[in-house]
């Protein structure tokens, strides 16, 4: 399997800049699905059951949380693609500079909204906001400023695990071994008495990341029985966890009243779309506006939930529901565009340049190797500890 040929396949269907336009389209659909779910299916904004406010739209909105699963599928594909040929330092720089600028702006914005208008929920303690800026709150038991942020910690765990592949070299073999090892961990973790294993296994989320990797390997090289087996197993595991995800998203009582088959169907459609991308069937989708729209999905995801629900709750008696949701959605899109243009792009560039300089310094220092700085000779003393003749220093 020639890597040159694989790179040609990976580039097919890309718009100028190396992005696969159809992936941006999938991101847009996933982000709008999550927004649809939060605005049409959550009671906290409307003060009463959303089914009373949107009797028809609510039936579809209750499945919008599946946009997160589609995001994870795309993430597995994109991370494997972007990490190819990179060092672990390059991989870390790309992820940090990509995730944090918009995230910092979103945490600051959402915190200000919740401090100024704690109608739906409060922002919590100031120290909680500070910890949220690290994106590590999920590991230290600090509440998320915005409930949508739970997915970011799942992504971080995926990056940490995939960094092992990057350190060893991102190759077909290493990626397949990684998929096999993470699948085994996800299968064993639910019955194993190990908090660490369960923490990193992410059993309900890992099938999507792993399938995304499998789909990218198909695109870069060619489909084969091993890769179809990898993807097929993840599809079955993903279907297994649909019910549990419905309970965590809707609550047990609502899940009992909600048909599960549409959720299973959406998961199947997500896998089918990614398979079509892997096989090149959607390479003709090259609309130039898709990358611009796709670039807004991350900041939109970060700011839309608690700030949007607060706006809806504040104006729900003055504005009719449908115009209110349209207005709030338009406001969130405009703010997402401002964050992308004024924060994400310029700050991301500066952060990337600064981190690259830091990585270069580390590499330059490690290439020099350790040096020995000799200390002056010391007189020996029979009853005292001998002073070492030298010490290691930079």
User: SS3 for 208-241, per residue?
Assistant: HHHHHHHHHHHHHCCCCHHHHHHHHHHHHHHHHC
Residue 102 contacts by C-beta under 8 Å, 6 or more apart in sequence?
A: 298, 299, 302, 339, 340, 343, 344, 348
pLDDT in tens, 261-315: 999 999 999 999 999 999 999 998 888 899 999 999 999 999 999 999 999 999 9
Give the span between the Cα atoms of 114 and 112, in whole angstroms: 6
Which of left, alpha, beta for 173 (phi over 0: left; psi -120 to 50: alpha)?
A: alpha
Least confident of 75-84, 116-125, 225-234: 116-125
**Which residue, among 13, 68, 8, 125, has the nearest Cα to 248 in the 3D structure?**
68
* Burial zone of 165 (CB within 10 Å; 0-12 exposed, 13-18 middle, 19+ buried): buried
Give the span between the Cα atoms of 70 and 25, in whole angstroms: 12
Residue 5 scores a pLDDT above 60:
no
**pLDDT band, very low/low/confident/very high, at 19 (cuts 50, 70, 90):** low
pLDDT of residue 105: 98
**pLDDT band, very low/low/confident/very high, at 370 (cuts 50, 70, 90):** low
Residue 78 scores a pLDDT above 50:
yes
**Rounded average pLDDT over 121-132:** 92
**Confidence (pTM):** 0.88
Residue 86 scores a pLDDT above 50:
yes
Residue 194 scores a pLDDT above 90:
no
Give the span between the Cα atoms of 183 and 118, in whole angstroms: 42
Mean pLDDT (the chain, rounded): 89
Give the span between the Cα atoms of 83 and 62, in whole angstroms: 35
**Rounded average pLDDT over 86-93:** 94
In percent, the amount of the chain with pLDDT more than 70 equals: 88
Nearest 5°: CA angle at 135, between 361 and 95? Answer: 45
Answer whether 182's CB lies under 8 Å from 206's CB.
yes
Residue 13 scores a pLDDT above 80:
no
**Which residue, among 206, 177, 183, has the nearest Cα to 76 in the 3D structure?**
206
pLDDT of residue 20: 86
pLDDT of residue 272: 97
**pLDDT band, very low/low/confident/very high, at 1 (cuts 50, 70, 90):** very low
Phi, psi (deg, nearest 5) at residue 287: -60, 130
pLDDT of residue 12: 52
Give the span between the Cα atoms of 78 and 19, in whole angstroms: 10
**Which residue, among 224, 278, 239, has the nearest Cα to 13 in the 3D structure?**
278
Structure tokens at 301: 């995801």
The H or E element containing residue 390 is strand 390-393
pLDDT in tens, 334-356: 999 999 999 999 999 999 999 99
pLDDT of residue 352: 95
Answer whether 76's CB lies under 8 Å from 208's CB.
yes
**Rounded average pLDDT over 92-98:** 95
């Amino acid at each position: 399997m020639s890597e040159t040929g694989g790179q040609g396949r990976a580039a097919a269907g890309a718009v100028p800049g190396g992005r696969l336009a159809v992936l941006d389209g999938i991101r847009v659909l996933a982000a709008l699905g999550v927004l649809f779910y939060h605005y049409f299916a959550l009671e906290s904004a409307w003060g009463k059951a959303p089914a009373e406010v949107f009797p028809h739209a609510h039936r579809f909105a209750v499945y919008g949380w599946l946009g997160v699963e589609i995001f994870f599928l795309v993430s597995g594909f994109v991370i494997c693609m972007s990490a190819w040929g990179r060092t672990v330092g390059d991989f870390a720089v790309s992820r940090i500079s990509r995730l944090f600028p918009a995230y910092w702006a979103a945490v600051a914005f959402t915190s200000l909204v919740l401090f100024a208008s704690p109608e739906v929920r409060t922002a919590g303690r100031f120290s909680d906001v500070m910890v949220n800026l690290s994106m590590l709150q999920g590991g230290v038991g600090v509440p998320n400023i915005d409930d949508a942020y739970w997915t970011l910690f799942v992504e971080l765990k995926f990056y940490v695990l995939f960094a092992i592949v990057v350190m060893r070299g991102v190759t077909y073999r290493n990626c397949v071994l990684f998929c096999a090892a993470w699948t085994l961990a996800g299968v064993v973790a639910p019955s194993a008495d190990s908090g660490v294993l369960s923490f990193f296994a992410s059993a309900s989320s890992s099938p999507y990341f792993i399938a995304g990797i499998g789909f990218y390997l198909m695109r870069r090289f060619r489909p084969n029985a091993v890769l179809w087996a990898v993807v097929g197993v993840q599809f079955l595991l993903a279907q297994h966890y649909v019910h549990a995800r419905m309970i965590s998203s809707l609550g047990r009582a609502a899940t009992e009243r909600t048909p599960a088959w549409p959720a299973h169907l959406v998961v199947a459609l997500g896998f089918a779309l990614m398979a079509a991308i892997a096989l090149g069937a959607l390479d003709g989708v090259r609309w130039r506006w898709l990358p611009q729209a796709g670039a807004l999905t991350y900041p939109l995801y970060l700011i839309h939930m608690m700030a949007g629900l607060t706006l809806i709750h504040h104006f729900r008696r003055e504005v009719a529901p449908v115009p209110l949701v349209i207005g709030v959605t338009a406001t969130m899109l405009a703010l997402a565009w401002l964050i992308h243009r004024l924060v994400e792009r310029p700050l991301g560039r500066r952060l990337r340049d600064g981190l690259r300089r830091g990585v270069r310094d580390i590499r330059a220092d490690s290439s020099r190797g350790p040096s020995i700085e000799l200390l002056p000779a010391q007189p020996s003393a029979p009853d005292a500890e001998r002073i070492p003749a030298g010490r290691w220093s930079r």
